[in-house]
Amino acid sequence: MEKNSVKKQITELLNTKAPAKLGVFDKTKEVFTELKSILKEIEKEYNEILTTEDERVRFKSKDRGEYVAQLKVAGDVLIFNMHTNTFQFDRDHEIWKHPYSKEDVTNTYCGVIYFYNFLFDSFKYKRYDDIGYLVARLFVNKDGHFFVEGKRQKGIGVNSFGKKKLDRRTLKKIIEVAVFYSLSFDLLVPPYDDMIMMTLMQVEQEILQSGIKTGKRLGFQYKSDDVQG
């Protein structure tokens, strides 16, 4: 009896949870493919209206693989990374307060796409210790319902989950807000005491790599501000 019960539970999971998780992957991959297309659209659209001829300022998108895309804008680079796994939320998460989540637990299974902001010089000079910062993460479920945790991403936080499906126009707006946020913040000088000493090895590395470990908020407390609910 116990053996049959376990078999029944395994079969139930394979018939319900497994297809739901695979559906999440398929939908997230579909969204990420569209995101790559939007990056090319943004590159063309903005470069046509920019008045500067300086190529260093202009937009440039790049497909860096199946699950990674890049958008360079002036001295900033946004990296978009799709995680290949499906996630569930802990029981204290705000997502569980919504009727949409309660009507079917598989509605809360989500894929995630991360938006990171790096400095272009980190790539140019191969400064592998440089830091990039998460400016947004986009959660998508199997049916295309979504929410965003991120900087300045108002009106599409977890409270909106289950109310509308992600479309191309909204996805483009999410990307543009992330670009705007990244461009709005300048590189901060590290505290003096953090730079007071340097080893000979570091000097040799600086000669080779032309840089000191750098990030927009390096040396300062970086708070997860403006993450919208």
For the stretch 97-137, pLDDT in tens is 999 999 999 999 999 999 999 999 989 988 888 888 899 99
pLDDT digits (tens, 9 = 90+) for 188-200: 666 767 666 666 6
Q: Is the pLDDT of residue 211 over 60?
A: no
On whether the CB atoms of residues 183 and 73 are closer than 8 A, the answer is: yes
In one-letter notation, the amino acid at residue 169 is R
Residue found by looking up tokens 């376990």 in the block: 6
Q: Is the pLDDT of residue 228 over 50?
A: no
Q: What is the pTM of this model?
A: 0.83
- Examine residue 222 and state whether it is found in any structural domain, yes or no: no
- Examine residue 162 and state whether it is found in any structural domain, yes or no: yes
Q: Residue 12: its pLDDT value, please?
A: 84
- Examine residue 221 and state whether it is found in any structural domain, yes or no: no
Q: Residue 4: its pLDDT value, please?
A: 75
Q: How far apart are CA 22 and CA 111, in angstroms?
A: 10
Q: Which of helix, strand or coil describes residue 122?
A: helix
- Examine residue 227 and state whether it is found in any structural domain, yes or no: no
- Examine residue 217 and state whether it is found in any structural domain, yes or no: no
- Examine residue 137 and state whether it is found in any structural domain, yes or no: yes
Residue 75 token pair = 């001295």
On whether the CB atoms of residues 112 and 87 are closer than 8 A, the answer is: yes
- Examine residue 72 and state whether it is found in any structural domain, yes or no: yes
pLDDT more than 70, % of the chain: 81
- Work out how many domains the chain is built from and give that number: 1
Structural domain boundaries, residue 82 = 2-209
Q: How far apart are CA 24 and CA 84, in angstroms?
A: 10
Phi, psi at 205, each rounded to 5°: -70, -35
Q: Residue 86: its pLDDT value, please?
A: 95
